[in-house]
Amino acid sequence: MNEIKDSLFEEEESDKSLLGAIFLISGTCIGAGMLALPFVTSLSGFYPSLLIGTLCWLFMMITGLLFLEATLWLPDGANVLSITKRFLGRGGELVAGVTFLFLYYCLLVSYMDEGTPLLKSVLTHITGINIPNGYDTLLFTFIFGLMVLWGTKLVSHINWFLVAGLIISYIYLIGVGSKNVTAENIETSRWGLWLFAAPTLFSAYGYHNIIPTLSTYMKRDVRKLRLAIICGTTLPFVVYSFWQWMVIGSVPSGELTQAMSGELRSFEILEIVTQNPWIGVVGGAFAFFALVTSLLGVSLSMVDFLGDGFGVRRSGLTRVWLCGLVFIPPMIITFYNPGIFITAIGIAGGFGEAILNGIIPITMFWIGKYTLRLHTKFWLPGGRFTLAILLIITIFIMGLEVYHLLWM
């Protein structure tokens, strides 16, 4: 009887860990990139943006599954540096290390840049105290640095509440904002510009960094890890699609472009269009939840990455200085260069995500399966041909971001 109870308890805990993993992946995806999406996708219109969004979602889901296979080929606890060193040698390890730091520091800068004023607004509204500039960045860093310092289990529990708040505020925004969607705005399309949102969408679907951490958290249960990746990326795809439908359908493209130059957020434009003051309040909450869920996922993965790189434990006093290395550099950049949000997101997606979450997992899986002949039950339709197509797409996306930075 006790064995049956223990089995049921373990199954219940396993189900919770699966849901926790799905929410961590979804939360890592649904973040700052979502707030920037309507600005870049409005250039081409809703239908072109839906097409490129579908392609980017499938691409990032597949490369995540490839990265999972590479992770599972190594012992538990291995992170990006150990994995790339095994398959790509010292050179690959160096490229992965530099790219990882570049990408996720870019993302953390964007999260802090956008999240600090949101936190400040909430605290000012609740307490009536106006926190001076600079101190608000310090407070933001301290609060969320403390959460990450505590560890994955606490972050997973907190993430449940954050995702719940995200879902509730999102449903409200869609429900109210959809009343202003017009067929004219939805049907306006400029197919010649449909690809230019790809770098930002790459950033919006970035979650690969947390796969090694989740592998340990879920005790390397392959079936549930794959399910977590598939479900955890599908949920953001649905959320992004409806979000773009609502924003692009409610606000003419020209007004979105003007709003971007005026540093207005997408939900603030909706408040102006709908003349509903609650849009601003709920939109601020939604933006905050979206940013924090991403921030926590990225920060956790960076602690594990640095611990792996330095060859140290991720606990005790060692975890304290690892968290300091994660949070202090982006805090300093945010302090001295506010307003870097959309630029940081585009660069992160166009280069960092393309290399780290595109080229590297594709190459590692190719070497592991076809060169080293390592065992895997993961079936990729098309085999080498599909991997080659994925590599070509990744290089093309990087070229788009170079074009955007130099000539647009």
| pLDDT tens digit sequence for 193-244 | 888 778 777 778 888 888 988 898 888 999 999 999 999 999 999 989 998 8
> What mean pLDDT do residues 350-378 have?
89
What whole-number percentage of the chain has pLDDT above 90? 23
| pLDDT tens digit sequence for 69-81 | 999 999 987 888 8
**pLDDT of res. 209:** 81
Residue 264 has pLDDT above 70, yes or no: no
**pLDDT of res. 62:** 96
Distances (CA, A) of 185 to 82, 239, 246, 248, 363: 49, 19, 10, 7, 41
Q: Within 10 A of 388 (CB to CB), how many other CB atoms are there? A: 13
| pLDDT tens digit sequence for 199-212 | 777 778 888 888 98
**How do the domains of the chain map onto residue ranges?**
34-149+178-265+298-407
Categorize the per-residue pLDDT at 273 as very low, low, confident or very high, splitting at 50, 70 and 90: low
Distances (CA, A) of 85 to 101, 109, 370, 374: 16, 27, 17, 16
The total number of residues shown for the chain amounts to 408
Could you please report the per-residue DSSP string of 28-51? Answer: HHSSHHHHHHHHHHTTT-HHHHHH
Distances (CA, A) of 238 to 130, 179, 248, 251: 37, 19, 15, 20
Residue 257 has pLDDT above 70, yes or no: no
Ranges 57-66, 318-327, 329-338: which has the least confidence: 329-338
3-state SS record for 239-276: HHHHHHHHHHHHCCHHHHHHHHHCCCCHHHHHHHHHCC
Question: Which residue shows structure tokens 């599972």?
Answer: 72
**pLDDT of res. 10:** 45
| pLDDT tens digit sequence for 154-168 | 787 788 888 888 889
Residue 360 has pLDDT above 60, yes or no: yes
Residue 367 has pLDDT above 60, yes or no: yes
**pLDDT of res. 4:** 39
**pLDDT of res. 340:** 55
pLDDT, mean over the chain: 82
- Rounded Cα distance, 376 and 358, in Å: 20
| pLDDT tens digit sequence for 323-345 | 999 999 888 887 776 655 455 55
- Rounded Cα distance, 270 and 283, in Å: 9
pTM: 0.80
Question: Structure tokens of 183?
Answer: 């067929």
